[in-house]
A and B are shown apart, each in its own frame.
Chain A
Amino acid sequence: MSLVILDAFGEENLIEKALENLLQKTGKEFFYFKLKNMKILACRSCGACEIKSPGKCVFHDDMPEIMRAIAPGSLILMLTPVRFGGYSSQLKKVLDKLMILVLPLYTVKDGHLLHSPRYGKKSLLVIGLTGQNLPGEEENFRLLAARNALNMQFTHKTLLFTSADPMEKIEREIDKALCEVKP
């Protein structure tokens, strides 16, 4: 299983540290992208990646580097602070451009109108760090992650932590989720 980590945190935190410890212990193969250091241009919804340049954005940025890791991989792990019950802009800059993971053609599955996956089935593990969030924000965050997974026809899991959670708990839960989430 190859793992691609999309890290949207601005500053070091316990989740990153716990993940680092875990990956060192398990020796899992992974690709790690610190998004704040990457040049990812905003999706302009120009539609070129659907038809004129199928599966590839026509604007030149660092997305090909991420896509070369994701396309053959099986698990995408997204790390983000929870912002207004959703993702931070740092994560969303990549996610908006991940629609090239699906085809521009439609299919119907379990009563949902969806796009078919371009690179086969994968899994999504979304990890959010909550702060001074309002009631309901966590629920919305989980719903959003579930919708992303449905949209791309991936299996998924969502984990939420606070900065007060002990490192051992974070490490244990991430380890468990990495074992459980399978394409």
Chain B
Amino acid sequence: MMNKKKRLLLLNGSPRKAKTSYVFARTMKELAEKKGHKAEIIHIIEYFDEEKHFEALKQVILPQDILGLVTPLYVDTLPYPVIWFLERIACDLTGELKGKEFFAVAQCGFPDTDLLHPLLESCGYFAKALEMKWLGGLGYGGGALIDGTPLEKLGRKGKKITSAFAFALDDIVEGKSISPRVQDQLTVKIPKILYRALAAFLNYRKKREAYSHGVSVADLTRKTYLENKV
């Protein structure tokens, strides 16, 4: 039986348009297109910055079958521009998205994907509030290390993420909840016992970066707002 070809809109939630969230969205778009579906990406920040008119968004969203938010984690949940965008949609498109499908992919710098739980739950509540079908969320820990590098250039790690997205899309285009095995595949398992070594490595890297900008450790730890004339 031929599956119905779907229209998929990927919403890039990162203020940095070409970084890891975009890399993930681009990969999902390519995978969807390979399966014969139509997919496009929009950048939420362009609507937030009024480079694009929010009023015109309705024409972009309404023909879609599936909406997918791909976003970084900012301070434990969605970035401010993304919450602004979801609030605007909830306000301006009430009732008009009913029956469409919604999913989310979130990524954070820390290895622990549990940190993405409140963000992904919020996406679910957004979908339910607008009477969309919530297909579930996926979390990736360690997004900062990818730092916008295309997945095809990341070797085994890139292949693993791409394969997980392909499995997720199989469920998504059929209107099914994303299988838990996809999250298992995406999760980078770093034993907590290695966190101290990881912290030491990250601190070494950060200090080296600081030195290269002529910034000392004392400068890095300045209590800027307790100093005069700030």
Contacts and interface: CB of A to CB of B under 8 A. Distances in A.
Interface of A: 42-45, 50-52, 54-56, 64, 67-68, 70-72, 83-89, 92-93, 95-96, 98-100, 103-108, 111-113, 118-119, 133-134, 136-137, 140, 143-144, 147-148, 151
Contacts of A52: 213, 215
Mostly helix, strand, loop or mixed at chain B's interface?
A: helix
Given A86-B83, A95-B75, A54 B209 contact: no
Contacts of B84: 89
Contacts of B129: 84, 134
A108 B199 contact: yes
Contacts of A143: 117-118, 121
Interface stretch (B30-38, B107-115, B173-181): B107-115
Given A44-B16, A89-B83, A140-B121, 9 more contacts: A52-B213, A64-B225, A67-B230, A71-B225, A86-B119, A87-B77, A88-B87, A96-B79, A113-B111
Interface residues of B, number: 53
A99 B77 CA distance: 13
Contact of B80 (A43, A71, A113, A148): A43
Nearest to B226: A71
Given A87-B83, A140-B118, A56 B230 contact: yes
Contacts of B115: 147
A98 B225 CA distance: 12
A55 B210 CA distance: 13
A55 B225 contact: yes
A55 B223 contact: yes
Nearest to B87: A89
B15 A44 contact: yes
B72 interface: yes
Interface of B: 14-16, 48, 72, 74-81, 83-84, 86-87, 110-112, 115, 117-119, 121-123, 125-126, 128-129, 192, 195-196, 198-199, 202-203, 206-207, 209-210, 213, 215, 219-226, 230
A134 B126 CA distance: 10
Given A70-B225, A113-B110, A106 B48 contact: no
Residue from A45, A50, A93 having most chain B Cβ neighbours under 10 A: A45
Nearest to A55: B224
Contacts, number: 156
A15 to B, nearest CB: 19
30 contacts: A45-B16, A50-B206, A51-B213, A51-B215, A51-B220, A54-B219, A55-B223, A55-B225, A56-B225, A67-B224, A68-B225, A68-B230, A72-B226, A84-B125, A86-B77, A86-B78, A87-B77, A88-B87, A89-B87, A92-B74, A96-B74, A96-B75, A105-B203, A106-B202, A113-B110, A113-B199, A134-B129, A144-B77, A144-B118, A151-B76
Nearest to A44: B15
Contacts of A99: 75
A70 B192 CA distance: 32
Contacts of B202: 105-106
Contacts of A113: 110-112, 195, 198-199
A103 B78 contact: no
Contacts of A106: 198-199, 202-203, 206
Contacts of B81: 42
